Amino acid sequence: MKRFLPLSLLILAIIFSGCASKRLAKRGLKFEQAGMYEMAADLYYQAVVANAKNVDAVVGLKKNGQRLLDEKSLQVHKAYFNNNDRETVYSYLDAQAYLKKVNATGVSLMLSEGTRSYYEEAKPRYLESLFYEARLLLDEEKFRESEAKFAEIKRIDPAYEGVDEFMKVSQSEPLYRQGKEFMDAGLYRKAYANFNNIISKAGLYKDSKDLMDEALAKGQLTIAIGEIDNKTRFRSAHLMVESSLSKAISSINDPFIKLVDIKNTEQFLNQQVKGTTLGSDIRVGQILAARAILNGSVIRFDMVEGRLQTETKRGYLKEVVTYKDKNTNEERRETKYHKVSYTVTQKSNSASVSVQYQLSSTETGAVLLSDVLNINQSDDINYASFKGDHKKLVPGHWEFSDKDSPKDRIDDNTMAVRNLQQLFGGKQTIMSAEDLRNSALAEIERRVTQKISSYNPEQ
């Protein structure tokens, strides 16, 4: 939805920009009178940007801007006659950029055809020499220097023939070589990052895609959920925790972390037997789909659904009565307290989940990660309700509703009244114990996700 300034603010903005434009134009005139046309042109430009209808600014910019453009054009001519192709090209690009900048304001400047022709003549010569230098550097395997040269060519002429392919080599080759070194060193994650970087920037280059896939296959940590022992009285506690652990691993956004399912398959058992009978030539970890097993125990899985407690409290409804004194005829105020009852409702729910887990290598049996998670969640309500205007309620106590008693008490003080009024603002909805338990499981998921995703065997 578009938002528009209020009319008054819009008018103020127009007035402000108009005043700023006039001030800038006046300053530009002073620099123009002093013969400093470059500064004058800049101030006139700012004045036109602030207010394109400022005639003085438009005239000043056209006059001084053209003088500045002519000076830039002169630099092109000087560089050309000095046989300096590089200076010719960059001086022209500078002049062209200034021309576009000013023309964008609606003020038209002119760049001579002679200046353009000098550029068109010098440009191919300079690009050819630059291309030759870049290729020479590439042949010498000075990749960074050659990349800088090719990048300069692309800035001047993005469509220059052959520059894209050579640019790809200068950018990709050092990453490719480093990636292969990482592969040889068993640093598969780093190798994957290099090859992925090549493909993302340059597309297919040599066998980078195959090497990236190989790095992923060799470095990927495939995780299976093993045994989750239930040490609680809640029969399905281990199944719920197992589901949370599976969800945690599956949610990790890392190609090197993958959950595999080996549960309830005879193939897994057969592979285990096969691995133990084939001897030391083939290790169990080479046969299993999972390179790591996550085992654990549910130590605690408690839910406490509290009892809703409702208690009737006694207090007073405060009333201030205004009347006239019969003797003095002056207006007086009297405070009266009427005995009333209100209700206070309380409830407290809680859930506690404790899980111990460890991630172990299927190849070596080494413990890769382990942790004990103790998550406690609770929620409660404590609020008051009253059929009348609770803002006039005052806490206290009374024995009889229809007569006074020495035990009656009115607590009409700031702290007591504030504490009572806070009860009327208390929340009246409470999370169930089951929801609290699910929240605890979600927290376990978060922590396991964080722990496993931060695990890097190459560091």
Report pLDDT for 332. 86
What pLDDT is recorded for position 386?
A: 96
DSSP E strand stretches across 279-330: 292-304, 309-324
The three-state secondary structure class of 312 is strand
In the chain, % of residues over pLDDT 90:
78
| Average pLDDT over every residue of 116-134 | 97
Contact partners, residue 352, CB within 8 Å, separation at least 6: 300, 301, 302, 374, 375, 376, 377, 440
**pLDDT single digits (tens) 233-248:** 999 999 999 999 999 9
- Which pLDDT belongs to residue 268? 52
Q: What is the pLDDT of residue 158?
A: 93
In this structure, which topology does domain 20-129 adopt according to CATH? 1.25.40
* Separation of alpha carbons 305 and 370, rounded Å: 32
Using the predicted structure, report yes or no on whether residue 264 has a pLDDT greater than 70. no
Q: Where are the domains of the chain?
A: 20-129, 162-219
Residue 232's φ and ψ, nearest 5 degrees, are -115, 175
Q: Where are the beta strands (DSSP E) in 163-308?
A: 221-230, 257-259, 292-304
The percentage of residues in the chain with a pLDDT greater than 70, rounded to a whole number, is 90
Q: What is the pLDDT of residues 127-154, one digit of tens each?
A: 999 999 999 999 999 999 999 999 999 9
pLDDT score at 1: 47
Task: Note every long-range contact of 107-113, with CB atoms under 8 Å and residues 24 or more positions apart, other chains counting.
Answer: 107/48, 107/58, 107/61, 107/62, 107/65, 108/62, 109/62, 109/65, 109/66, 109/69, 110/66, 110/69, 111/69, 111/73, 112/73
